Amino acid sequence: MTDNQNTGASYAAAGVDIEAGDRAVELFAPIAKKATRPEVRGGLGGFAGLFALGDYKKPLLAAASDGVGTKLAVAQAMGKHDTIGRDLVAMVVDDLVVCGAEPLFLQDYIAIGKVVPEHVAQIVSGIAEGCIDAGCALLGGETAEHPGVMEPDEYDVSATGVGVVEEDKLLGPDRVREGDVIIAMASSGLHSNGYSLARHVLLEHAALPLDEHMEDFGRTLGEELLEPTRIYAKDCLALMAESEVRTFCHVTGGGLAGNMARIMPEGLVADMDRATWTPGPIFRTIAELGRVSREEMEKTFNMGVGMVAVVAPEDRDRALAMLTARHIGAWELGVVRAAEGDEERATLRGDHPRF
């Protein structure tokens, strides 16, 4: 048998580098180990993550899964991979906390065309740092190399998080009452929604380079677009502990009114006033350059409001003071009132100042 006949097919020759994956784990393991909680059992490297639920009377487990959409295209174009992980955590844990659940742990999944250890380590490090900020553990994850299916520099990320809430503390529409106060929490920018429209307007239609310094932003366009999604989980839990919160609303795809309608019970309306805030420059830039209508902007982007708390009227001042002390921009956005006829469950009225 000749040498050529001895040279058979291999996983590496097919495009999957197991050794590169092992090197990536070595690089991100130190920061990943910091994203933990006392309830974690075992450690990284097992086939399944173990978590002790703890002492609860009637615990309800909450689960949420998400990704970061086409914001990934901006990160890949810029070769900057250390912020996407924070976006991923935010999109998951801030969904969990809406019902009052404390995020316990998260597991990630990374599909990538070719494993470059340093790139994977940057992604996972961002996820771990986000978990630390959210107070949850990074319990495990998976990195899958997909040669022939994805381009070498291409990757996608997703995650599933699990939280817990006592049954009698579960938040939701059934707690909302007429006269409740709607409090907005400022977003850090676009967060992780609407990037297909943002990229179409800014990068394709206006042909703006990602490395161009933008005076309105005080930084490059790429840096503005990659601003990480704000993680509100700890702030929301702190607010619950000190005031009467009826429910929260995470403002993602569908915009402010679309998501607020999901948390309003039948017969009540979230009456919100645009005059209470001015959307940031990134929203104005997209609207002007793309000639995007207000209706389209408001159903695609968060417009500067990333999370909403509905609180009892007597706790309005306490809630605003708490959020301010935690360095979260917050303001009274509106009130809950009785519906008139068959009107929508959430309405936005008035105009934004200077927009």
Whether the predicted pLDDT of 9 surpasses 70: no
Going by the DSSP 8-state scheme, the letter that residue 147 receives in this structure is B
d(CA 77, CA 62) in angstroms, rounded, equals: 35
d(CA 245, CA 312) in angstroms, rounded, equals: 7
User: Band of the pLDDT at 3, cuts 50, 70, 90?
Assistant: very low
User: Band of the pLDDT at 335, cuts 50, 70, 90?
Assistant: very high
User: Band of the pLDDT at 116, cuts 50, 70, 90?
Assistant: confident
Each residue's pLDDT tens digit, 244-261: 999 999 999 999 999 999
d(CA 173, CA 227) in angstroms, rounded, equals: 31
Each residue's pLDDT tens digit, 137-191: 999 888 888 988 889 889 999 999 999 999 999 999 999 999 999 999 999 999 9
What's the whole-model pTM score?
Answer: 0.91
d(CA 149, CA 67) in angstroms, rounded, equals: 19
Going by the DSSP 8-state scheme, the letter that residue 228 receives in this structure is P
Q: Are 225 and 198 in contact (CB under 8 A)?
A: yes
Whether the predicted pLDDT of 313 surpasses 90: yes
* 3-class secondary structure, 269: strand
- pLDDT value of position 78: 94
Each residue's pLDDT tens digit, 259-303: 999 999 999 999 999 999 999 999 999 999 999 999 999 999 999
d(CA 80, CA 72) in angstroms, rounded, equals: 10
Flag the least confident range among 74-83, 114-123, 249-258: 114-123
149: alpha, beta or left? (left if phi > 0; alpha if psi -120 to 50): alpha
User: Band of the pLDDT at 89, cuts 50, 70, 90?
Assistant: very high
- Percentage of residues in the chain having pLDDT higher than 90: 76
Flag the least confident range among 5-19, 26-40, 91-105: 5-19
Whether the predicted pLDDT of 16 surpasses 70: no
Q: What is the mean pLDDT of the chain?
A: 92
Secondary structure E strands in 43-167:
50-51, 59-67, 102-112, 137-145, 155-166
Task: Supply φ then ψ for residue 344, to 5 degrees.
Answer: -60, 160
Each residue's pLDDT tens digit, 20-72: 667 666 767 777 788 888 888 876 666 788 888 888 999 999 999 999 999 99
- pLDDT value of position 34: 83
CA nearest 189: which of 198, 181, 180? Answer: 198
Check the CA dihedral 150-152-156-159 and report its sign. positive
Q: What share of the chain is helix, strand, coil (3-state, %, to 5)?
A: 40, 25, 35
